[in-house]
Structure 1
């Protein structure tokens, strides 16, 4: 795990008991640094890269991590069969076009298979979106619910409160509006040709697209 802000990590350890035990797991290596720099400098390949970032605000530190250039670098760092996942902003019916769908379109320029999914996050007062991309196109095929249940039983100790085979399947059952937007989305987010559109009411900003 790489995080740029040691104070935030310390706060989470002390105030989020649901996740605090993870920091004591001997399998975890915590690095306080710039994740982009760590990836660029790493000579080690990764099986999975999970990006849980701030939204791409114009004045924020993360907008360059939502671009075709960055995703291309991440793909190079993945091992064969590797998977890349990124949070992708609001994904409700009214706002899923702001970040979620152009991130999906951008990833499709880089990876052979990409899956978008969403889930209600009530503390954010909206559905939230993620995109999952695969180095190998064949891996983009969804598992059956019983396959997910079997893998959870074999790999995870204890009982999960949210994820099982049926809820996994539900994450990828997108509304008609979502599917239409993803099918028609052509924007590709770029570092060099990025522009910004600011949503004052939501505090959201998206790197503009190149044609």
Structure 2
């Protein structure tokens, strides 16, 4: 029997294979078995990553934090046992979250990020020449400090003079702010039961706090959870329908994120029409953005707004409105284990 290795409160004991006389093969088999991160997607479905090592673990007042070095996706940030981003493909999530909203806006200057402690959302926003001020409000100082220390790709964003970092509840910070913003970005953790974020997906929050803090031509965008054929009814369709009750123009779009093992969804909304064709989007990318985007361009964004028949039908038929009393939650947690 192997030894148990506990990471973030989850642990597993794995039985060592019997030695067949080939010591080297036996050792390779042990290494193959003993270093994995495992995320429970559903009660009968798990998603696993082979690890090189567990780089760091810690816990804040609000959540558990782990940084893993995975064999397939590079460094991966895990919050409360759920994959937040991986080095190899985080650009897909963050480009999709940020750039469509800022490109559709005529002149985005002031941006508010709800969450975003990792720094990647701020990094993408700061690529836009027009941006003058970014307020990033995350509730968890330990997560921000952790990401500043370990996620080297975002160090320049944290040092940028345009970035104002606030440690606070985004609901309270927005409610008390005297400023209005051109774009408000919801880079929040998934709504999980008992988690700190689910109230920031509710109709009352969008209606009484987010919308009043947008300028007249302002745009709101939020990550909206898994959007695959088998997972889009967890929260994606509900978040979309909820935002439709608050804003006049609403656009849902999706992209596959390999490290999530699923298609992911975002919802963008405004009281002004959200209309650009592919050539207009590409022109704005060329004129406005410093550097080159890796994922988003005009054609890819417009194609991402076209849902397959299954998801499309669910979106138009959804009746659930997300409230504090009638919330939906995403299932699952994760664990890293070693022999």
TM-score (norm: length of structure 1): 0.88
Q: Which moved more, 1:101-110 or 1:156-165?
A: 156-165
Match of 2:283 among 150, 158, 168: 150
Could you tell me which runs of 5 or more consecutive residues in structure 2 were left unpaired when the two chains were aligned: 1-135, 334-339
Match of 1:21 among 147, 152, 156: 156
Higher strand share: 2
Q: SS where residue 215 of structure 2 aligns?
A: strand
With over 3 angstroms needed to count, the CA separation of the structure-2 counterparts of 1:163 and 1:49, relative to structure 1, is: same
Who is 2:189 aligned against? 54
With over 3 angstroms needed to count, the CA separation of the structure-2 counterparts of 1:51 and 1:153, relative to structure 1, is: same
CA contact (8 A) 2:191 2:329 kept: no
The 2-side partners of 1:129 and 1:198 are apart by: 13
With over 3 angstroms needed to count, the CA separation of the structure-2 counterparts of 1:17 and 1:173, relative to structure 1, is: farther
CA contact (8 A) 2:235 2:329 kept: no
What displacement does 1:17 show? 2.7
With over 3 angstroms needed to count, the CA separation of the structure-2 counterparts of 1:101 and 1:196, relative to structure 1, is: closer
What displacement does 1:135 show? 2.4
Match of 2:211 among 75, 83, 87: 75
The 1-side partners of 2:193 and 2:285 are apart by: 39
| Superposed CA RMSD | 1.5
The 2-side partners of 1:38 and 1:156 are apart by: 28
Who is 1:103 aligned against? 239
Who is 1:177 aligned against? 310
Residue correspondences, number: 197
What displacement does 1:53 show? 0.7
What displacement does 1:13 show? 2.0
Which entry has the higher C-alpha Rg, 1 or 2?
Answer: 2
Larger RCO (CA within 8 A; separation ≥ 6) = 2
Q: SS where residue 188 of structure 1 aligns?
A: coil
Cα displacement string for residues 28-70 of structure 1 (whole angstroms, at most 9, x for unaligned residues): 1111111111001011111110011111111111111111100
TM-score (norm: length of structure 2): 0.56
Residue 286 of structure 2 is aligned to residue 122 of structure 1: no
Residue 134 of structure 2 is aligned to residue 2 of structure 1: no
CA contact (8 A) 2:219 2:270 kept: yes
The 1-side partners of 2:155 and 2:237 are apart by: 32
